[in-house]
Amino acid sequence: IYFGLEPLKPWESRLTGLKINRIATHGKAMVMHIGQNLFIYSHNQLYGRWRCCKSDKYPSSNRQLRMAIDCQDRSALLYSASDIAVLDSAQLEQHPFLSKLGPDVLDSTVTPDDIVARLTSDKFRNRRLGNILTDQSFVAGLGNYLRCEVLFVCGLDPRSRGKDLEEESLQALADAMQGLAKQSYLTGGITNDLERANSLMEQGASFRQARHHVYSRAGSPCYRCGSVINRSQGSGQAIYYCPQCQSVTS
């Protein structure tokens, strides 16, 4: 293992040869479980990028290499990130960032029922959906485009609250949060209906133009009903929605 940050250099010899037992994501943060009681924490922030390659063929890059993990003939390289630490289990549990996060939306151990329980909890049930879906203390891993797309797929007003929803809508929202996040992960960012997105690209649309239902499509017609997609503000970011499909009220 190689660290490009001087304070971490003493860990290189201690970690080399140990086995990575598990890798868990928490939003943009990643935790590698190393050996018995050691963890490598990293956060990509705005500019961090992971690259995987053959160990003898590191890619040419102007970015600063912050960490390199060589495993037999393959390597995982982290560029540009500066928030990296080696922690034990106690330090991990008390980490000032991780301890504030909700469950990761792509964590395989998180169920839709877990998400429904958070939606209806005293902490979140009175808050608007358009605000809590990007609150990382609610669930980690949802950004603005997923917020907009999830609410559209469920036909929900961004200003509605968990306490306003029937059980069926709560379940649909939880399913969409996990389902769309997984689809986006597997397709490189497509949240639109996959058949529609492929058809649009075959007709000449760019990937960016075809990838979403409503996000960044203000002024364009809704694929579902033809109404004009609207744009408003929520939690400091633009919310895109269909006023017809989502029954947005004042």
Give the whole-angstrom CA distance, residue 129 versus residue 160.
6
Give the whole-angstrom CA distance, residue 8 versus residue 88.
14
35-88 pLDDT, tens per residue? 889 999 999 988 899 999 999 889 999 999 999 999 989 999 999 998 999 999
Is the pLDDT at 91 greater than 60? The verdict is: yes
Confidence of residue 15 (pLDDT cuts 50, 70, 90): very high
Is the pLDDT at 249 greater than 90? The verdict is: no
Give me the pLDDT at residue 27, please: 85
Give me the pLDDT at residue 237, please: 87
If we measure between CA atoms, which residue out of 154, 156, 171 comes closest to residue 119? 171
Q: Between the CA of residue 74 and those of 12, 27, 162, 186, what are the distances in Å?
A: 18, 25, 45, 22
Confidence of residue 92 (pLDDT cuts 50, 70, 90): very high
Give me the pLDDT at residue 234, please: 65
Is the pLDDT at 151 greater than 50? The verdict is: yes
Is the pLDDT at 216 greater than 90? The verdict is: yes
Give me the pLDDT at residue 45, please: 86
Is the pLDDT at 231 greater than 70? The verdict is: yes
Give me the pLDDT at residue 75, please: 96
Give me the pLDDT at residue 72, please: 86
Is the pLDDT at 232 greater than 60? The verdict is: yes
Long-range contacts of 91-99 (CB under 8 A, 24+ apart): 92/31, 92/39, 92/41, 95/41, 97/29, 97/43, 98/26, 98/29, 98/31, 98/41
